[in-house]
Amino acid sequence: MSPVMMGSKQVKGITAEELAGRSQALTGALDEGNGQLDAEQRAAGHEVVEKVRARTALRGGHTVVALAGATGSGKSSLFNLLVGADVAPVGARRPTTSRPTAAVWGGESATELLDWLSVGQRHHVEGVSRRADGADTAGARRDAVPGNLDGLVLLDLPDFDSRVVEHRREAERILALVDVFVWVTDPQKYADARLHDDYLRALTTHNTVTVVVLNQTDRLERDQVKQVRADLVRLAELDGMRGLQVLTTSARTGAGLDDLRLRLAAAVAGQNSARHRLAADIRAVSGRLRSDVADTEPALASSADDELVDALSRAAGIPTVVSAVERDYRQEALSRTGWPFTRWVRALRPDPLKRLRLDKGDPKDGTTALPGITAADVRGALGRSSLPPATPAARAAVELATRRVGDRAAEGLPGPWADAVADAATPPGPDLGDALDQAVMRTPLRARDPLWWTVLGWVQTVLALLAVVGLVWLVVLGVVGWLQLPEIGTPRVGPLPVPFLLLAGGLLLGWLLAVLSRSFARTGARRRAALIRDRLRASVAGVASERIVAPVREVLRRHAATREHLDRARA
């Protein structure tokens, strides 16, 4: 990695790996930022990435330098002096350069490079040069003139202030592709707004590959040359070009030509100007894109907050489901532990959950007979439930909760990113409603049967059997007495016969136990309802995290990734 000498300061070179890394970082920023970045600057970024790819793919170590300037600045005259031949036409008042002209030093072919530049007029500089005093040195050694320019491709561009639109466009097209800028101006136009506003101020990131030449100094006195040069340096600093190298030349006398050759030779010797120019382009477009992202992002939890879950729970009809679960528990509990002689009446009552097309599910939420498929998957495939649609108040609560999530996540973000966060936090209504309904249907709505159901159920069965035995015994005794058959001895407990005690005791104790079961059922139903409410809220929270929080966090992740890529590209 060799340094680049521009003026009196040495600039650290950029390796091909570093340039590729910056280009990849810019590509990553464009991919992550996408629609949230300014469309014009995004297109410019893609152009820079493509230019880096195309320029680095070219073979050879040429350095492309453009002589650019206004009409009458003398750039074509300087071009001819550097080339050592009258290659470019010279005109004092009107633009005479309509197409770029290329001069190539050295034996290495620059055909592929010039084809990429679309420069048709080409001149190969042989071992003939011209000294500063204008004398030809044909046949002399190449080092007779200061600086070795082998590998230089020098372009004489059309005037950037030409009244011919095609000339200006051609100059701007070439300027977008060259490695080094040499801006040629004169004492009359050195403060021209076109040079400063349209070029120097727009190329503040390119100061390492920029040289300004104040030509036609032969028209000024020595003190005036210093004064004008100092003023030009001051204007360049106001443009943001600090440390810019400003040379003074005279195409008529050859003064300063050797200094210009040395600067060009330094750029060629470093063989790094192309990468510096491309890196500067990446910095420039990355800097402009950087204004589209903030320095930080708001922190957003990965799970949904209680306000959002509450709003979605009401919209999903969870209160209705919980109420149905509570009624279902009481109904099943009483059918298992109630008075056996009246249980059949409860079987005629409609199932509260089936009316909502909700399946209670397996108490263990186990798998089905098909491997890999759970009971919840089967329930989810049954279609929609019969839960009533969300009320306007519930929908309004959801909109308010999602808006607050978006507002918190978008705080401090530029407009396009804030809009993207708001869009992510507001999924389409039907999609969200379907997801909530499926979440409810996939949630198991029961748990293990409590032990007291089994215990009280067996006790009720025993009491019912005792009552039946007592009743049959009494019937037998009545039939025997009616038929006047020999009396059967009946055991007694005190004054009461055992059959009567069995019948009355079985009925009375069964009824009392049924009353006790109702109290247990109400308490158990409340507990079961609380358990199922927590399950349903967890399912709704999963939908909120997946459909609302996750998309918002993805926008914030893209924002952070875009900023990090741009910062790496600008490094």
Over residues 394-423, mean pLDDT? 92
Q: Assess whether pLDDT exceeds 80 at residue 65.
A: yes
Least confident of 29-43, 158-172, 545-559: 158-172
pLDDT at 361: 59
β-bridge partners, 184: 69, 213
Strand ranges inside 391-450, DSSP E: none
pLDDT tier, 367 (very low <50, low <70, confident <90, very high otherwise)? very low
How far apart CA 69 and CA 171 sit, in angstroms, is 10
How far apart CA 461 and CA 530 sit, in angstroms, is 31
pLDDT at 360: 63
How far apart CA 475 and CA 478 sit, in angstroms, is 5
Q: What is the CATH number of domain 62-270?
A: 3.40.50.300
Q: Assess whether pLDDT exceeds 70 at residue 42.
A: yes
pLDDT at 385: 76
Query: Is the pTM here over 0.85, yes or no?
Result: no
Task: Report pLDDT digits (tens) over 209-244.
Answer: 999 999 999 999 999 999 999 999 999 999 988 888
List phi, psi (to 5°) of 113: -65, -45
Quick check: 273 and 209 in contact, CB under 8 A? yes
Task: Report pLDDT digits (tens) over 288-302.
Answer: 999 999 999 998 887
pLDDT at 184: 93
Axis-axis angle for helices 318-337, 451-482 (nearest 10):
40
Least confident of 135-149, 349-363, 519-533: 135-149
List phi, psi (to 5°) of 247: -105, 155
Domain locations along the chain: 11-59+277-292, 62-270, 306-570
Distances (CA, A) of 115 to 54, 57, 112, 171: 12, 13, 5, 16
- Greater model confidence, 508 or 60: 508
Task: Report pLDDT digits (tens) over 535-568.
Answer: 999 999 999 999 999 999 999 999 999 999 999 9
pLDDT at 113: 94
pLDDT tier, 12 (very low <50, low <70, confident <90, very high otherwise)? low
How far apart CA 478 and CA 474 sit, in angstroms, is 6
The alpha carbon dihedral of 476, 481, 484, 486 has a sign of: positive
> Side-chain half-sphere of 322: how many Cα atoms within 13 Å?
18
pLDDT at 347: 66
Q: Assess whether pLDDT exceeds 80 at residue 276.
A: yes
Task: Report pLDDT digits (tens) over 240-267.
Answer: 888 888 999 998 999 999 999 999 999 8
pLDDT at 3: 46
Q: Assess whether pLDDT exceeds 90 at residue 339.
A: no
> Side-chain half-sphere of 41: how many Cα atoms within 13 Å?
23
